[in-house]
A = this chain, B = another copy of it.
């Protein structure tokens, strides 16, 4: 097929004046509907905690006992003392911990992190909000590339061993944003046991997709807190999660887990900024799920809505680009994203062409610190929100755009494409 022919096809799509969006990792309306009962389980007649406690007044700095119990299982920590419940966003907790690190330091810091320049390791491609936090606080970001089983640990170990100004690493361990891939046991072990020049080094274990499986074929990860404890590095991980992509994205419950020393440090800080998170919303979540098994059952319903969307995305990629050799992509078992790599130098162009044809994609580069994808090749695809039909059209356009961009840049000749 010639560039002319591809462009003719492209013009046909443009003429449709579509408005499709595969840019945002947010739940669809159908997914939100799965949790509507959450809005009915607390009423004016019935609002007490499981233990009969008042939930409308002040108190409960780190959460209701029953919510901490649920999150203990969710965060996979071993006691409720290793849990702190937050507000409606784990992003807030992550920002908060870094901010308090800058002003005060961790429980085992010699000085506040802000006393001298510090660095974080940023596995790439990764989550733009992690990078934004670093940028905001002037934390130098060191990109480290990811393999199919997590960050390049040879590189990570080498970096942290020699540089005491490296204070943290961002990890989305399961069904990562954007690759959808998970850390292997070896990566968990090496993150837990590696020697760090900084004795206040932290792993920000953002387990945003901990229970977000597409099917029964699930990734099971080694327990980061247990392996860190076994290695004598109990204070290394902060484990983050929330129900944003489980119940309601704006009205869920977040939590953080870690060593009791870390959690006591955080509770100590929270005293200065809150009387405690919304207990009524905690009660809603406890009543809705009952326990972690209830949460697992609920997640199967999400998976059933998401799987056909992932399948459709992958099937179009395969049928349109599979034999061209132009692109590679991940095939996740869970999460919200598929990571697509188009030819070097083409990602911005593909995103731009898609936009011309009415398909909004995550900005090229967004998965890299400073918005800078050195290869200009990575594109994050978010299939959760559009319908199957919309995904079909959007992905046809993305694939077409990839072919056009590849020809424009001279990587392939017109005639190579069928």
Of chain B, the residue at the smallest CB distance from A273 is B95
- Interface size on A, as a range, is 35 or more
Q: Tell me, yes or no, whether A231 is within 8 Å of chain B by CB.
A: no
Contact A57 B26 (CB under 8 A): yes
Quick one: which of B47, B87, B88, B133 contacts A39, CB cutoff 8 A? Answer: B47
- With A58-B249, A92-B273, A248-B56 as contacts: A39 and B280 at CB distance below 8 Å: yes
Q: Tell me, yes or no, whether A132 is within 8 Å of chain B by CB.
A: yes
**List of B residues within 8 angstroms of A273 by Cβ:** 91-92, 95-96, 99, 133
A356-388: which have CB < 8 Å to B? none
- Per the bound structure, the CA–CA distance linking A89 and B59 in Å amounts to 12
Quick one: which of B26, B38, B87, B132 contacts A88, CB cutoff 8 A? Answer: B87
- A94-115 toward B: CB 8 Å interface, digit per residue (1/0)? 0110010011000000000010
- A29-43 toward B: CB 8 Å interface, digit per residue (1/0)? 100100111111011
Q: Tell me, yes or no, whether A27 is within 8 Å of chain B by CB.
A: yes
- Per the bound structure, the CA–CA distance linking A248 and B88 in Å amounts to 17
Output the least CB separation between A245 and chain B (Å).
Answer: 10
Copies per complex of this chain: 2
Q: Tell me, yes or no, whether A279 is within 8 Å of chain B by CB.
A: yes
Output the least CB separation between A53 and chain B (Å).
Answer: 11
Output the least CB separation between A115 and chain B (Å).
Answer: 10
Output the least CB separation between A106 and chain B (Å).
Answer: 16
Output the least CB separation between A98 and chain B (Å).
Answer: 9
**List of B residues within 8 angstroms of A89 by Cβ:** 274-275
Quick one: which of B27, B44, B99 contacts A103, CB cutoff 8 A? Answer: B99
Contact B280 A248 (CB under 8 A): yes
Quick one: which of B29, B37, B87, B99 contacts A99, CB cutoff 8 A? Answer: B99
- Per the bound structure, the CA–CA distance linking A274 and B250 in Å amounts to 10
Output the least CB separation between A54 and chain B (Å).
Answer: 7
- With A26-B58, A54-B29, A89-B274 as contacts: A250 and B280 at CB distance below 8 Å: yes
**List of B residues within 8 angstroms of A47 by Cβ:** 36, 39
Contact A56 B32 (CB under 8 A): yes
**List of B residues within 8 angstroms of A143 by Cβ:** none
- Per the bound structure, the CA–CA distance linking A335 and B246 in Å amounts to 40
- With A44-B36, A103-B137, A280-B250 as contacts: A95 and B272 at CB distance below 8 Å: yes
Output the least CB separation between A289 and chain B (Å).
Answer: 16
Contact A57 B32 (CB under 8 A): yes
- A266-308 toward B: CB 8 Å interface, digit per residue (1/0)? 0001011111111111000000000000000000000000000
Output the least CB separation between A384 and chain B (Å).
Answer: 11
- Per the bound structure, the CA–CA distance linking A249 and B275 in Å amounts to 9
| Other A-B pairs, 4, CB within 8 Å; known A56-B249, A56-B251, A58-B249 | A95-B274, A132-B272, A278-B281, A281-B281
Please provide the 4 A-B residue pairs with the shortest distance between their CB atoms, ordered closest to farther: A95-B273, A36-B44, A56-B248, A251-B280
